[in-house]
Amino acid sequence: MSSALRFSWFCVVLAAVVAGCGGGGGGTASSQQQGAPHAKAGGTLTFLYSGDVDNIDPGITYYTGGYLIVYATQRPLVNYKPDDPTHPVPDLAAALPEVSADHRTVTVKLRPGVKFSPPVNREVTSADVKYGIERAFFKTVNNGYAGVYFRDIEGAKTGVAPGTEIKGIQTPDPHTVVFKLTRPSGGVLAGALTMPIAAPVPRDYALPFDRHSPSAYGTHQVATGPYMIANDAKGNTTGYSAGHEIKLVRNPSWDKATDYKPAYLDAIDVREGNTDTTVASRQVLSGSHMASGEFPVPAPIIKEALSRNKDQLALVPTGGIDYIPLNTSIPPFDDINVRKAVIAGFDRDAVRLSAGGKVRGPLATHFIPPSLPGFQQAGGMKGPALDFLAHPNGDPQLAAEYFRKAGYASGRYEGGAALYIPAINTPAYRQQGEVAQRSFERLGFKVRLRFVSNDVFYTQYCQVPARKANACVGWSWYKDFPDPQTMLDVTFNGAAIQPQGNSNFPQLKDPQVDAAMRKAETLASPAERAAAWGAIDKQVTAQAAAIPGTWLNQPIVRSKDVAGVTNPVLTGWDLTFTSLR
């Protein structure tokens, strides 16, 4: 990576003073950022989802389907414009966060004039930002990333009672928020202020809902973005039917003068339950005022679109990766030699081919994607020199050697119990699951493959350690903001394991890896961070805790009369910039 790009990344991660980083303020976006050509105001977009979102609560959701909704309805302190996923811009904030010289204090000034949607209808204050972050630590909310990126705030503790305040979040006046940290991790915290829990939540209105277990705020939420989930006069979300539909309508309290997002559409109708994504994709391509949602377009549709509807297909570079995580906490993958045998003998290229082939992206050899610092330090495209990753089509002989090291004299797995593997029930992931099953079976495993909906996959199986799945097919991970820590800390740090909403599916608990992460989290120099997280990537990859898949492009489609605008940060269509023709 060039020194210029490293400097740009430094400005993103440390979120220093705007003038120092060459960043811009909010205000009105440029003509290029205002949307696609032929954009016009008005109309309703139909947005097709394969399943329900993981959660509609902005303090809980942590996956693509939920993010596409949240970033249309909520305004975090900092955000990214669709045409620049590297340099942040103020959103609810009036300017980029200021990080103190010792990296232990982060100060944010709020933009005046931003109001909550009905029934709250008042101006946002610093106390609302404070509560939005505090509630993420409540045991009734149990946010998946607060304990990683926000844990160094003085007094922050996960699993606390609803209403617990965090002394390290200070509000000296209604338009200023100050974060006091126990470690010099201000740069990472500033980067994380792009995430949904950095959007304001009114304590007086939300706390009664947060006292429920789980919190009921999601179905009573208020918005600060240009759209809101349709509700009644009391705030009940009439526009959400789990697994069926989410109706987004204009937020009457939204003031265009306070926002850089054009928000052309009058309404967005999210229709869920389109498990046959081949059919759904064809409906979008042949239909009107439609776009594909959180699912990747299946391989046959990609092929058809490239030859017939190329202008309606977008391949969004995600800064993400898909992989098959292996549960290291239970047999048989608690044995590292069994894990190495599986990766050595696995036909990873066949899995990519079933998902669309090379257009989906290059085969991954480690976990930091090419767009992030630390990628080269982790080995670049070739990856670390690990023999079990050297043959993407599988090396049966090397797999047999590792099985023998694990005590299986035959060179194949000899255990009796079948692997329990959930997979997402869409055509693309069904094919990947079946290809993966064949690879496991060639190595001697019996496989019990279970197809479930997208939301069930995450919330009831692959994020719940008690369900004891051995692996998951359909798992992917994207950067939370442009920093290599976001690819590794939540997903492979032993401290990040949670009973619900767990994103460290492998449940990897390696003392050396965890210690290296704790040290790397506080590094400020971009060169030092890239080197440290690149080295951690090598450590994680050597643990063979997951079968690397592809550094992903996300294939999505739109109807001809939709002026679609993609956003790599959201890995899909940006609803606040997309319009109808």
Is 55 in contact with 218 (CB distance < 8 Å)?
yes
Q: Report the candidate in 547, 63, 550 with the shortest Cα–Cα distance to residue 327.
A: 547
Confidence at residue 187, expressed as pLDDT on a 0 to 100 scale: 94
Confidence at residue 21, expressed as pLDDT on a 0 to 100 scale: 34
The number of C-alpha atoms within 13 Å of 535 and in the hemisphere containing its C-beta is 13
What residues pair up with 315 in beta bridges, in sequence order?
555
Is 82 in contact with 574 (CB distance < 8 Å)?
yes
How many whole angstroms separate alpha carbon 2 and alpha carbon 9? 11
How many whole angstroms separate alpha carbon 505 and alpha carbon 546? 9
428-444 burial: b if 16+ Cβ within 10 Å, else e: bbbbbbbbbbebbeebb
Is 237 in contact with 171 (CB distance < 8 Å)?
no
Confidence at residue 552, expressed as pLDDT on a 0 to 100 scale: 94
| The two three-digit tokens of residue 433, written as one number | 């699951």
How many whole angstroms separate alpha carbon 345 and alpha carbon 391? 8
Is 557 in contact with 242 (CB distance < 8 Å)?
no
Element containing residue 182 per DSSP (H, E): none
Domains 3-268+559-579 and 317-555 belong to one CATH topology: no
How many whole angstroms separate alpha carbon 216 and alpha carbon 270? 21
How many whole angstroms separate alpha carbon 508 and alpha carbon 514? 9
Q: Report the candidate in 119, 319, 81 with the shortest Cα–Cα distance to residue 228.
A: 119
The number of C-alpha atoms within 13 Å of 342 and in the hemisphere containing its C-beta is 29
| The two three-digit tokens of residue 203, written as one number | 């304590």
Q: How far is CA 41 from CA 271, 483, 577, in A?
A: 22, 35, 10
Confidence at residue 4, expressed as pLDDT on a 0 to 100 scale: 28
Q: How far is CA 173 from CA 127, 128, 129, 229, in A?
A: 9, 12, 12, 30
**Which CATH number applies to 317-555?**
3.10.105.10
Domain boundaries, the chain: 3-268+559-579, 317-555
pTM over 0.75: yes
How many whole angstroms separate alpha carbon 261 and alpha carbon 322? 30
Is 215 in contact with 239 (CB distance < 8 Å)?
no
Q: Please give the distance of CA 131 from its chain centroid, rounded to a whole number.
A: 22
State the DSSP string of 14-60: H---HHHHT---SSSPPTTTT-STT-BS--EEEEE-SS--S-S-TTT
**Which CATH number applies to 3-268+559-579?**
3.40.190.10
Confidence at residue 501, expressed as pLDDT on a 0 to 100 scale: 86
Is 527 in contact with 281 (CB distance < 8 Å)?
no
Confidence at residue 24, expressed as pLDDT on a 0 to 100 scale: 30
Confidence at residue 30, expressed as pLDDT on a 0 to 100 scale: 30
How many whole angstroms separate alpha carbon 233 and alpha carbon 121? 11
| The two three-digit tokens of residue 188, written as one number | 């990472």
Handedness of CA 388, 394, 400, 404 (dihedral sign): positive
Confidence at residue 416, expressed as pLDDT on a 0 to 100 scale: 85
Burial group, residue 261, by CB count within 10 angstroms (0-12, 13-18, 19+): buried
Q: Tens place of pLDDT for every residue, the chain, 581 residues?
A: 232 222 233 343 433 322 233 333 333 233 333 455 668 899 999 999 999 999 999 999 999 999 999 999 999 999 999 999 889 999 999 999 999 999 999 999 999 999 999 999 999 999 999 999 999 999 999 999 999 999 999 999 999 999 999 999 999 999 999 999 999 999 999 999 999 999 999 999 999 999 999 999 999 999 999 999 999 999 999 999 999 999 999 999 999 999 999 999 999 999 999 999 999 999 999 999 999 999 999 999 999 999 999 999 999 999 999 999 999 999 999 999 999 999 999 999 999 999 999 999 999 999 999 989 999 999 999 999 999 999 999 999 999 999 999 999 999 999 988 999 999 999 989 999 999 999 999 999 999 999 999 889 998 999 999 999 999 999 999 999 999 999 999 999 999 998 988 999 999 999 999 999 999 999 999 999 999 999 999 999 999 999 999 999 999 999 999 999 999 999 999 999 999 99
